[in-house]
Amino acid sequence: MIDKQIIYKPIGIIHSEHTMAEKTPIQPVYARGCKGHVIVLEEFKAGLSDLDGFSHIYLIYHFNQAPPVKLLVKPFLQDVERGIFSIRAPGRPNSIGLSVVELIRIEDNILYIDGVDILDGTPLLDIKPYTAKFDLHDIRKNGWQDEVDEPTAQKRSKRGYRS
């Protein structure tokens, strides 16, 4: 089973103001005010019911412009090579992206969102609610991120986006 291919199809497309990877914020938390919208395919529209009750949602998407896979890579926040599974960079064995974005409103099959760190035109794979019951965990250790102070993180996370 481990060799088996898993096949997904996009359920929609994410649109944002980010057209160049090197100018896209690295995470939603550093993308406040970056608005975007998600167009969900008509055939899945019924699945959006009740989603507008949530202030935050997970978007799971395919990094369709990912660079080649590297198992060790420098995160944007630090000049030290780290294992790919300890960072969020796109060049990973399966190019799956995960962002928690703020849901502003839903109109028909379009989700208007804020805190968008995703490239324009990115294929969407799934949407899940981000909730107090399921998603707030009592973190004890943040690995290499504990070595990065917040001003440095703020500065480096934007990849020159606002400079």
Selected binder of a second copy within 17, 19, 41, 105 (CB under 8 A):
41
Selected binder of a second copy within 32, 42, 105, 143 (CB under 8 A):
143
Q: Does 162 bind a second copy (CB under 8 A)?
A: no
Cα-based distances in Å from 17 to 6, 30, 34: 31, 14, 7
User: Which helix (H) or strand (E) segment is 154 a member of?
Assistant: helix 150-156
Q: Does 68 bind a second copy (CB under 8 A)?
A: no
Cβ of residue 30: shortest distance to a second copy, in angstroms?
9
Cβ of residue 162: shortest distance to a second copy, in angstroms?
18
Q: Does 37 bind a second copy (CB under 8 A)?
A: no
Cβ of residue 123: shortest distance to a second copy, in angstroms?
7
Cα-based distances in Å from 80 to 59, 84, 93, 108, 137: 28, 12, 20, 45, 27
Give the CA-trace dihedral at 82, 135, 119, 5, to 10 degrees: 70
Dihedral sign for Cα atoms in the order 69, 6, 10, 124? negative
Site string for a second copy, 109-128 (x = CB under 8 A): ------------x-x-xxxx
Selected binder of a second copy within 21, 67, 135, 155 (CB under 8 A):
135
Q: Does 58 bind a second copy (CB under 8 A)?
A: yes
Dihedral sign for Cα atoms in the order 10, 101, 127, 53? negative
